[in-house]
Amino acid sequence: MFRMFRKKATVFTLLFTMSLSQMAYASSTGEALSPKDAQTIDCNSCDLTINDEKKVSQDEKLFREMSVDLDKITLEKASGTSPFVYKIDYGDGSVETTEIRKASNGDIVMDVYDGDLHDTITKTSDGKLLLDGKEVVVESNTEVIAGESSNEDVSVASQYGRGSVYRTTPYKGKAADYTKYVKTIKKASVKADKVIRKMTISAISIILKNSIQELVPTTLPISALTAVAKRVKPAAERNAPNSKCLSYKLVKYAYKSNTKTDKYYKYTGAYYPKKNYEGGKIAHTFYEYNAIGL
C-alpha cells in the first residue's frame, strides 16, 4: 500500500486516530498531542522504493521505542539492506546524524554522530539502557517529598485508562497558573560511565529521559529534555570536564483548577552536570496533560 511521508499529519488523519478526549483537546488548540498521532519521518523528497518505505516505517517504530520525536528527523540516505542514515535537527544549529536497527536478540541499537563524537545507545530487550556497551546506572537514591497538594497527583498510566503527553509549553493557561505544589523529586546520581561533555545531545536526552521516566506516568519524549541536554554539555565543559554523572531535582505543580477527567501539571527542573547537584544549575520546565484515552 502506498505510504506518504510527511512532517505533519493531515486533519483527516488526526481525527481518524484520536480518541474523543484527544479530539476535544485538539479542536481547541489546533495541534497534535503525541508522536504516535502526528509524526512521521520527513523523507526529504527521497525517491523511495516500496521496500525502502517499509524500512523507514520499521525505523519509525524503533525511534518511537527510543522516544525520539519523528518530526525532528529527516531521511538522509536510503542504502538498501544497510541501516538508513537520518538527520536529527535539534534547532539552533544542533544537528546529529543517526542510524538505528534492531539486533537479532531484540535489542534496539542507535548510533549517533556529531562531528568527532559518536555514541552507541542501546535499549535492551529486557529494558536496560546501555551507552557504548555499558549500562547507564540510575542509583536507587530517588528522594520524593510530598507537597500539600499530593492528592492532585496522577502517577499511574493505566489508572482508569489514563495517559499523558508532554511538551515545554503549558497545555492550559500560563506558567503562573500552576500553583498547587504536588511533590519534589530528587535524583542525586545518574551515571553513564562516559564523560558528559563528550556525549551527543541525543545520548544526554535519552539518559535523562530514561531516569525521569520511572517518575512520570507515561512515555516521556526526549523533546521535553533536549533543551536541557544542549545546555548540560557546555556546563560540563566549564564546571565538570571529567564528570560522568548527572543529577537533577524536579518540582511538580498542578494546575489551579484541575478536573477529575483532565489534569495539567508543570515540572520545574534543576539539572546538574555532576552528581549531588553540583557543577552549576540548569533550569528547565516541561508540562504534562493527563486524561482518559490519551
Q: 220 pLDDT band (50/70/90 cuts)? A: confident
Is 150 part of any domain?
Answer: yes
Which stretch of 10-24, 84-98, 253-267 has the lowest confidence by average pLDDT?
10-24
Q: Assess whether 170 and 226 both reside in one domain.
A: yes
> Taking 70 as the threshold, does the pLDDT of residue 7 lie above it?
no
Could you tell me the CA-to-CA distances from 103 to 124, 134, 221 in Å, in that order?
9, 17, 23
Cα torsion for 36, 5, 67, 228, to the nearest 10°? -120
112 belongs to a structural domain: yes
Say whether both 108 and 156 belong to one domain: no
Does residue 201 belong to any structural domain of this protein?
yes
Mean pLDDT of 164-184: 94
pLDDT for residue 49? 85
Q: Are residues 230 and 269 in the same domain?
A: yes
**Per-residue pLDDT for 114 more than 70?**
yes
As a whole number, mean pLDDT of residues 259-273 equals: 93
pLDDT at 180 over 60: yes
Residue 2 forms part of a structural domain? no
The CB-side HSE value for 184 (13 A sphere, CA atoms) comes to 9
Average pLDDT over residues 247-267: 93
Which domain-ending residue is among 102, 133, 164?
A: 133
Amino acid at 140: S
Lowest mean pLDDT among 103-107, 141-145, 197-201: 141-145
Please check whether residues 122 and 251 belong to one and the same domain. no
Write out the residue range of the structural domain in which residue 33 sits.
11-133
- Work out whether strand 262-272 and strand 85-89 pair parallel, antiparallel, or are unpaired: unpaired
Task: Identify the domain boundary among 133, 155, 186.
Answer: 133
In a domain, 129, yes or no: yes
Question: Among the listed ranges 139-148, 195-204, 222-231, which one has the minimum average pLDDT value?
Answer: 139-148
Give a yes or no: residue 18 inside a domain.
yes
Residue 157 has pLDDT above 60, yes or no: no
Same domain for 15 and 114, yes or no, is yes
Instruction: Assign 140 a pLDDT band (cuts: 50, 70, 90).
Output: low
Mean pLDDT over 100-105 rounds to 95
pLDDT, residue 8, reads 38
Higher model confidence: residue 40 or residue 83? 83
Mean pLDDT, to the nearest integer, of 239-251? Answer: 94
Residue that terminates a domain, selected from 133, 166, 198: 133
- Say if 4 falls within a structural domain: no
pLDDT at residue 25, rounded to an integer: 47
Mark whether 282 and 241 lie in a shared domain.
Answer: yes
Residue 17 has pLDDT above 50, yes or no: no
- Select the more confidently predicted residue: 200 or 4: 200
Instruction: Assess whether 103 and 198 both reside in one domain.
Output: no
Q: 156 and 213 share a domain? A: yes
Q: Based on the domain organization, do 120 and 148 belong to the same domain? A: no
Q: Total domain count for the chain?
A: 2
d(CA 97, CA 74): 9
Tell whether 5 is covered by a domain.
no
Q: Is the same domain home to 147 and 218? A: yes
Task: Indicate if 92 and 152 belong to the same structural domain.
Answer: no
Please tell me whether residues 117 and 238 are part of one structural domain.
Answer: no
Reading the block at residue 62, the C-alpha cell is: 524503533
Mean pLDDT of the chain: 82
Strand intervals (E) in the chain:
73-77, 85-89, 95-102, 108-114, 117-123, 129-131, 134-135, 137-138, 143-146, 162-167, 180-191, 245-254, 262-272, 282-292
pLDDT at 29 over 50: no
